[in-house]
A = this chain, B = another copy of it.
Amino acid sequence: MQETELKIIKNIDIRFCEVDQLNVVWHGHYLKYFEDAREAFCDKYNLNFSDFVKEGYITYISKYTVEHKLPLRYKEKIKVEVMFKDCRTCKILFVYNVYNSKNQLACIGSTEQVVIDKEGKLMIDWPDFLKSWKNTFVKYDPVKFE
C-alpha cells in the first residue's frame, strides 16, 4: 500500500509591500505564503486552529526552514504547494514548494508544529482527535511504519 500525499495548491499574488529594494520579495515574507497555503490546507481537511481549541489543545510552530532557488518579484502569480508529512510522534509537519509565474521551483521549505494540552504539556503521542483525523485522511504504508 502506497502513501497518498495529502496536499493542496494555493495561488498567491505578490504584493508591492512584500518586495524590498533589491526588487525581490524580502525573505521573511515567505512564512506568510506558507501560512496562507497551510490555512487553505487546514480549511479543506478540517484541521483548523478552532478544531484544536474545541478539543482542548493548542498548536504552535516550533521549527521551520526556507531555501530559496529563484527570487520572486512584484506582481508574480505564484503557486504554493503544501503537503502533510506524517510523523510517528506528535509533530505536524508540512513541506512546501513555491513555484514562480513561469512554474519554476522558486523556494522549498518546511514547518513543524507541536501540540500542547490545556495544562501546557507538550504532547508526545498523537491525541485521539488527531489520530481520527489521520485515519480519515492519511493513507499510510503500514510496512514503512512498522
Q: Which residues of chain A have a CB within 8 Å of any CB of chain B?
A: 15-17, 19-24, 26-29, 31-32, 35-36, 39, 49, 58, 60-68, 71, 74
Give 9 new A-B contacts, CB below 8 A, not counting A21-B21, A27-B60, A28-B29.
A16-B20, A16-B39, A16-B49, A21-B23, A22-B60, A28-B32, A61-B68, A63-B65, A63-B68
A67 touches B62 (CB 8 A): yes
Q: Hey, which chain B residues are within 8 Å of A31, CB to CB?
A: 17, 27-28, 31
Q: How many copies of this protein are present in the complex?
A: 4
Given contacts A61-B68, A62-B67, A67-B63, contact A26 B17 (CB under 8 A): yes
B68 touches A24 (CB 8 A): no
B71 touches A60 (CB 8 A): yes
A114 to chain B, nearest CB (A): 9
Q: Hey, which chain B residues are within 8 Å of A17, CB to CB?
A: 20, 26, 28, 31-32, 35
Q: Hey, which chain B residues are within 8 Å of A66, CB to CB?
A: 63-65
- A-B CB contact pairs (8 Å), 12 listed: A15-B32, A16-B35, A17-B26, A20-B20, A22-B58, A24-B60, A27-B64, A28-B32, A28-B35, A63-B68, A64-B66, A65-B65
Q: Hey, which chain B residues are within 8 Å of A26, CB to CB?
A: 16-17
A68 touches B60 (CB 8 A): yes
Select from chain B the residue with minimum beta-carbon distance to A71: B60
